[in-house]
Chains A and B, each alone.
Chain A
Amino acid sequence: MKTFYWLVKREFWEHRGGFFWAPIITGGVFLLLNIMGIITAEVLGAHHGINFGASGGLHNVMSDMDAGDMSKVGFALDLAMYSATGLLTVVLGFVVFFYCLGALYDDRRDRSILFWKSLPISDTSTVLSKIVSATVLAPIIAVIVGIVVGILQLLILAITLSFHGVNVWHLLLMAHPFRIVFNLIGYIPLYVLWALPSVGWLLLCSAWARNKPFLWAVALPVATGLIISWFGLMGLFNLPTTWFWKNVVQRGLFSTFPGTGSVFGTSGESIAHNVAGNPNMDFMDLTNTYQLLASSNLWIGVVIGSALLAGAIWFRRWRDDS
């Protein structure tokens, strides 16, 4: 267990840039853009003599709102907080994708694998530590940064509004920051399961390719897809060609992007329904997101992902570059 902790720590040392600085810098840029947007709005507003806060306009609007309107304010605030994390998850998807591609390849290329293999560590633990770094460590850091950025975002909004005489803290009570934190952290285990086939495929290519793992990882499924599309091979299984693109190419390559499971894994209609009806962020609640556990798509992915990872471990053990 101690060895495993240090193996994961080693991954963090090596990939501090992607795991730690990428979300922080993204979050910082996100906040900066928000502040710039607010300043621009303020300047334009002052320039045209529109001052909706002090003149009492917004204040009156607030006091006139009924419960339904209030929930819309809460929705807007929750959305603001989720949006920060939303951006970070896109970054996280890229980080995990490229981390997995390099994880079992870079040390073979620079021959430092000979140093790692001179230590009493099994290849299984090595590969497992890389899976955990990709699917648990990186998302946890991204979520924590996302939460901090989201809270800062709320505070910036609140402070801006307070300049216009709006009761800030009253407003903030309509947001659900704790529920959001709970939902985001709770999503990570689901992400581990959903990302497994992609992580498995990318790590397998990383452990197997003698050079250019990116090319192999992407070109192989895409080329297969093209051949299948060209000859209409899926017709043999009474399936449309898009089935292959959606369930093999897209699922195999892009499942490292958090949220793709919720969008593509279950029928997207329930989400659309939620958004169209009473606007709220309930579809992000764990009771909704964990419905994915009932989909065969997820579990087939887990099985295939595990098989691919077993292959990655085997190649890590026996790949002999000399």
Chain B
Amino acid sequence: MSATTNILVVGIGGQGVMTATEILAEAAIALGHDAKKTEVAGMAQRGGVVSSHLRFGQKVLSPQITPGTADVLLGFESAEAMRWQHMLRPGGITLMNTARLVPPVVELGLFDYPADPLGEIRKSGNKVVAFDATTIAQELGDIRLGNTVMLGAIADHLPFSAETLLACVLQRFQRKGEKLVELNRRAFAAGRAAVGEAEAALA
């Protein structure tokens, strides 16, 4: 990876994209990095597109990731992962949730949802690992754990240890009780394992 690490987290409003990016930023800062986090999310609360940029390294200047320079793209939703492929650098990787969130404009028949986002991304030549974070979260008992599953998914694709990130995730739930801490620990591990298995299958 280059001197500055560029992580792009994408999804739609309400999925927890901005919180996930903030936790990644906290982990980078805990290790002494400079970091900047920015997003275009003006009306994200209303189900719109959210793309959150995190840059960290010794000294970060521009907060925005220039198209073609993202190291990792963490996609909370299939079509959104597809939408931002041009942001990746050559050799960059996409880690994507296979969930499909269909917007009203598609329900109304005005636009089509891509038939195979994963296939489209593969066809472009970009490296991609897909997993079903939503189902993993549901199986753990709460769809809201999806955010932590996603953070687990990216944990082995960062220039620092998965344990550092896990500690930052769990810190968020410390005050909410041991039960929630444990659930999130499992969600993180499940996300990490899902990506590991998917990568092993690809190799």
Please say whether chains A and B are actual partners in one complex.
no
Residues of chain B having any CB pair with chain A under 8 Å: none
